[in-house]
Structures are given as structure tokens and as C-alpha cells.
Structure 1
């Protein structure tokens, strides 16, 4: 995951019956296996478009976001958003990915990433969650005029205190990363990476019965999250011009290289793919959730990211990259072993520490539930200075 997480927008509870319909139970014989059987002969939609509406509350801070998206099964996509008053259009034509700022007439362009389309990734995420989750209720209803399965994980306090109770986290959506910045390339990895670190009390999913795509999700806990598609359309015959972009002669074009993200399940596997050593903090090695090695074809930039689960609703992300970047401003300077590093609060309950040694820059990002002193101790435990 990358640094600060931008998350987002609430659906008013009094409107639930209007938007989701009144739920009626499925037959008593319907099981998780029955839902999984829906994938056997599933033909994904060739196109999907909708408005994405999101609300999240992290550490008591609420974020609301809405954006429009158009996607094709072949990987072409378009998103349009207006965040903090700045309009942003992102287009992937299958060969290049354009991020356009109309007010400034500037665009960033990079190569498309060869990976499952967002439609495929969303269907795969649904399947994995149904495989791994402990479903407590299944019902049939309608949402936005479409037949959906309403699937619930968790429920009463007693249910949630049972040993080995599993509740899924917020899952990837067809919308992908929010428009207006470099997309998190890890979105298309399997969702199991963060499954065990979630301690929500209840998770509800509304799954389209034809395409098994999650159209709405509601995560209840200390850090709530709601996501919903509105104005949903499948196979609407989208115009090809939606997925093309031609900058004008006056448009300022900045070319950026698309990084290669490779995920590994073990530290040993990641070490085999890096040209430098990988130091680790004083964290139980069994907590390692995943390791990412990030490279770029046309430069010597290289990075490794280690993600540790904590048993709470947050992870610890440790990064090492080369070459070392220019110094950055923080809230304050901090001593880490024999060097001076930086510390910054990032908002949404996150904070970060970083330091540079030789050609390498290190950083640790986590929740403020791990205090500043412990963050410095984790940095020093890596023995890089």
C-alpha cells in the first residue's frame, strides 16, 4: 500500500430500503458452495460504468469521495473525479495511461500495466472472500434495480467473540484507485494479504447475482467503511472515445515510468529478487503479510516493501529504496541510532518515520496507535546506522 491512504462516503441509513430493497431469505439449502458455484459458468461483462460513492472513518476522521468510472474487460478504463475542487481525468487506452488535469492543462503519461482488468480483479476478489470468509447470513434482495446476494459476515457480540472468527476487510472494487494520483498497483493482488489483520465486528456485501461483482459493501467496526456503486450499467455499448486521449499542442506532457510490482509471500523469496540486503525491524517474522519488490525498467531505482500484520486494524509497512532521495521536510527531526531522520504525522491516524544511510532511504509507516517512541525503536532495531 502506499503511504497515505485516501479513503471515502456515507449512505444515509434511512434510505437503505429504497436503495437496497427489503431483504428476503434465500432457501435454507443455499450455502457458501452454492455461491461459489456461480463462478463456474460465469461470463464477465465486457463493460461496466457507474458512479462510485465512498465514506470512511479512520481514527475519528471522516472522508467522503465520489467519482465516475467506465471500464472494459480488455483493460481499458476511464475515471473522472473532482477532489478538493480539482478535476482529474484518468484514461487507460490499453497501451498508455493518462492522468489529465484540465484546469492546468497538464498530463502525466506512463505505460499501461499488464494485469487483470479491474472487472476481472473484482470478480476474483469476490470469489476469494466467499472462499475464506465465515458467512453468517445470506439473503436475496435488489440493489439499483439488479438482483443481488446480501452476504453478512459476523453479527452479534457473541458471534464475534468465537475463536477463529474471520471477517473480511474492505475489498478491492472495480473502481480501482481513486482518480487523481498514481494508482496503487497492488490493488490487483489477491485480497487475502490483509484478511487476518481485520477486526471489524460486521461486514456486509451486496453481490450482483449475474456477474458476482460487489456493488456495495459496508464494514462496521472502530474504523467504518461504506462503498456503493450508483447508476450502474453493464454492457451499455460505451463509445471508444471514452478510452482515448490526445493532448493538444499546448498541453504540458510529463512522461513517467510505470514501476513493476512483484509480490512475494516470504522474505527469502524477496531477498532473491533484490540487488541489496533487506534489514527487518524487531517484529515477529510470522507477522510478515507480504513483501513487494518494486523496479523500473529504465532506471536504477529499486525498492522493497514489507507489510506486517499486527492483529489490529492497521499494518506496519517498512520500505527500503535506492538511490536515496533528496531530504524531505517533516514535523520534526529525530535521532535514529547515529543519524538524523524525519518524522511526520500523515493524517487519518497514520504517521511515518524515515532516515537515509549511504545510497539507501528507509521508512516505516503505521497507525498512531503505535506511538512515536515505539516507531523510533522499530527503526533502530533494523540496525542500519
Structure 2
């Protein structure tokens, strides 16, 4: 499912600072910890525990403005999870509960709740988090390793060395099953989309290799996330992963969100034959030479009475471009600044992942997405090239 068509989620949690995405290698430096190569093998071989409970302290400073909040998390290796966000001196402002079959998202401040059937093939958060740690060692150099403690637990403190020109995007986000949790870095849509990263550090719990603390600093941005009161395999009661809107949600109305049906096709004409509209395809000279067509996918959204076909292109480094034609407006559109596409007026916006262009013409709705790395006016150039009649 495309991120822009995913279920709504309040931008609240900083469960992961998922931005370590560049060159590999290890540098052996004097330290009080194991050699980087030994630690890499240990982290790569680590398996997540069955359960983790913790209080997560999140602190971020952007251009001198500091925000901090606390999450309480209960996580199971089988995919069940409960996340409560609040100030710590009152009931949780937000509760997200996933029992493996359904995800509930309750916003107490707005008296709002959604229920979504989850993807049975989704990777459990704990498993995904451990997989992500292995990727860190594949994609960054290590400048130092030392042994220290965090909240009374023995840890390996690893300092990663970001390569030159590494950037922190407008926000740092991680996709956990069907929900995206985001730490905003920019204070407005007018702020720069990229900031350089000068320091990235992770503290690994020696017992479990769990990333008990994470920190990043660069260009006016400082982010820290620390797991405190960490309990491993403490026996979480199954009731913790249940949610009843009549009691837990104070009787709030519930909005059910249905996952779309998804079908893939080898040829564009095969996908076009399944929908009552022409699917716009960009000419070859409008698409960068560095990308190849990767997939053609048809999505049907039963709760929106809408169907779309998306053509996705991909670079060797997994940067993407997608071109989408739909017979209805997206329920959770990105928005952005006004822009002219042919004779139509649309919007263009810088999102967490890249640039997104949207517009409509003759009851058809179009969007073009381009990852930051491949976007240098690409989204607008492709949009203007599409044979839409506008």
C-alpha cells in the first residue's frame, strides 16, 4: 500500500530514527568496548526477546525550540503492541493498540478512534527494529565503541560516522506495520527540506542488543530517544493488547478503515483493462535514465469507493518514482502549494520521503511522487508530460 494511501495516523511517536542509509565500513579506534567487527557480528546475530516493556523519553530540539514527551510501550515479538503517549501526569493523550489482527488508534484530545485490519504478513515491530540495527553496520562507518551504562543497564555505545553530504530530511519516520510514526524536524512547510547530520549514536543493551538509546545531531537539530525502566520477557498480560471503545475510549465513535485490495500486473494494458478509465503513462524521455519500471499495481479502496493504478519506477539504490491515476480523490491527500500542470491547477508538497504532485482533470485524479534523491524538478516534469488532456 502506498504511504499516501495508508490509514490516518497522528504525528506523535518517535519509535525509531530511521535514517542511517549510506556507505558501509568499520574503523577500529581505541575504545573500551569490543572491536567494531565483533560487535557487528553480535548485533547481526541477535534475536529479539519475546516481550519488551519500557518508558520512552523523547526529546528533540529544532532551531533552539525543544519539545519532549513520554511514551509507554509494550511490545511482543509476535506483533502485538500497545503505545501510550502523554505527559506522564495524566491519562494518555493517545493510545495505539495492535493485537496482530486489528490496530486501534484512539486520540483522547479529539475524541476520535479508528480501527484497521492489519496485514497478516507485516513484519512485527521488534523484528523490524533488530533487522534495522544490522543495516546500520552495513551502511555507516563506526568512529568509536565503548562500554557504558544507560538507566542502570550495561550497554555498548556506538558512534557512527555519517559520510560527507549526509542529510537529515524534513522529518525522520519509521513504518510500523500500517502506521507511520514521525518526528518532525521542520517548523513549517517553508523550512529547508534537508539538514546535514554531524553525529549519530546508538547505545545497545549488552544483554539483548536492544537499541536502548538513540541520538542524532546536526544543523540545528538534536534528537534523543531513551528507553527507561526496560523490562525484558516480564510476562505482559494479554488484556494489555485489547481495546474496547465503549470503556477504553470513553464511548467515542469508531471509524473503520478497510485495507485496499491490491493486484499486480506485468503490462500496463492488463491493468487498464480492469478499470473504467485510461491510465496515464509518462513518455520515456520524461523519466530519468537512472530508473527502470518496477511494478504496475491496481488498488481498490472499498471505504472510499475509489480505484487507482500506480506505475512505479525504481533506481538501483531503491529510490522511487510513482505515477498514479485514480477515479476519485484520495481521502488523506498530501496538499501543498498551488502549481499549474498544463491547464489544470494542482498542489506540490515536500513530504518526509520526497516530492508529491497532485491534480485533477475531467473527473480523473493524478499524482506523481519522486524520492528526494531523484527529484530535481522530476515530479513536475513528469506531471506536465502525461497525456491527460489538460
1:229 to partner: Cα distance: 2.0
Checking the alignment, whether the CA contact within 8 Å between 2:105 and 2:113 is kept in structure 1 is: yes
* Number of the residue aligned with 2:161: 154
Q: Which residue of 2 aligns with 1:184?
A: 180
Please state whether the residue corresponding to 2:201 is helix, strand or coil. strand
Q: Does 1:122 align with 2:129?
A: yes
Partner of 1:13: none
Q: Deviations over 1:156-213 (max 9, x none)?
A: xxxx55xxx989999877x948xxxx71399xxxxxxxxxx99523211112222222
Distance 1:329 1:38 in 2: 37
Residue by residue over 1:305-359, the C-alpha shift from the partner in whole angstroms, topping out at 9 and shown as x without a partner, is: 86989x9xxx88755252331798967643211212235688x999754212353
Contact 1:8–1:55 under 8 Å retained in 2: no
Deviation (angstroms), 1:363: 4.5
Q: TM (normalized to structure 2)?
A: 0.65
Q: 2: distance between equivalents of 1:82 and 1:365?
A: 35
* Corresponding residue SS for 2:179: coil
Cα offsets for 1:275-318 (capped at 9, x unmatched):
54553895634378998958357565336486989x9xxx8875
Partner SS state of residue 26, structure 1: coil
CA distance in 2: counterparts of 1:241 and 1:76, whole angstroms: 11
What is the CA–CA distance in structure 1 between the aligned matches of 2:32 and 2:268, rounded to whole Å?
A: 49
> Aligned-pair distance for 1:108?
1.4
Whether the 8 Å contact between 2:370 and 2:378 is mirrored in structure 1 is no
Alignment of 1:8-157 (within 5 A): 25-26=31-32, 30-40=35-45, 42-56=46-60, 64-82=68-86, 87-102=93-108, 106-114=112-120, 115-154=122-161
Q: Is the 8 A contact 1:271 1:277 kept in 2?
A: no
Counterpart-to-counterpart distance in 1, 2:149 and 2:213: 11
Q: What's the TM-score once normalised by structure 1's chain length? A: 0.66
| Structure 2 unaligned regions, length at least 5 | 15-29, 183-193, 273-278
Residues 199 and 288 of structure 1: CA distance in aligned 2, closer, same or farther (over 3 Å): farther
**Superposed CA offset, 1:250-280 (max 9, x none):** 5422211134789x9xxx9897996545538
Match of 1:206 among 195, 203, 220: 203
SS in 2 for 1:78: strand
Alpha carbons 2:271, 2:298 under 8 Å: kept = no
Post-superposition offset of 1:141: 1.2
Aligned residues: 334
Which structure 2 residues correspond to residues 344-383 of structure 1 after superposition, within 5 A? 353-358=357-362, 359-364=364-369, 376-377=380-381, 379-381=383-385
**Structure 1 residues 148 and 269, CA gap change in structure 2 (3 angstroms):** farther
Change (3 A) 1:100 1:349: closer
Tell me, in whole angstroms, the C-alpha distance in 1 between the residues paired with 2:180 and 2:361: 27
Find the aligned partners of 1:37 and 1:248 in 2 and give their Cα distance.
Answer: 46
Give ranges in structure 1 of 5+ residues lacking alignment: 10-23, 187-196
The aligned counterpart of 1:227 is: 225
Bigger share in helix: 1
Which residue matches 2:346?
341
Moved more, 140-149 or 336-345: 336-345
Q: Is the 8 A contact 1:125 1:171 kept in 2?
A: no
Alignment of 1:324-335 (within 5 A): 324-325=328-329, 333-335=338-340
Q: Residue 243 of structure 1 corresponds to which residue in structure 2? A: 241
- 3-state SS of the aligned residue for 1:236? coil
| Structure 1 pair 360–127 and aligned structure 2 pair: CA distance change class (3 A) | same
Given that residues 49 and 71 in structure 1 are in contact (C-alpha distance below 8 angstroms), is that contact kept between their aligned partners in structure 2?
yes
1:360-379 CA-to-partner distances (Å, cap 9, x unmatched) read 32155788xx89x8874564
C-alpha distance in 1 between matches for 2:383 and 2:64: 27
Q: 1:88·1:100 contact (CA, 8 Å) conserved in 2?
A: yes
CA distance in 1, matches of 2:152, 2:228: 10
RMSD, aligned CA: 5.0
Output the CA distance in 2 between the equivalents of 1:234 and 1:218: 22
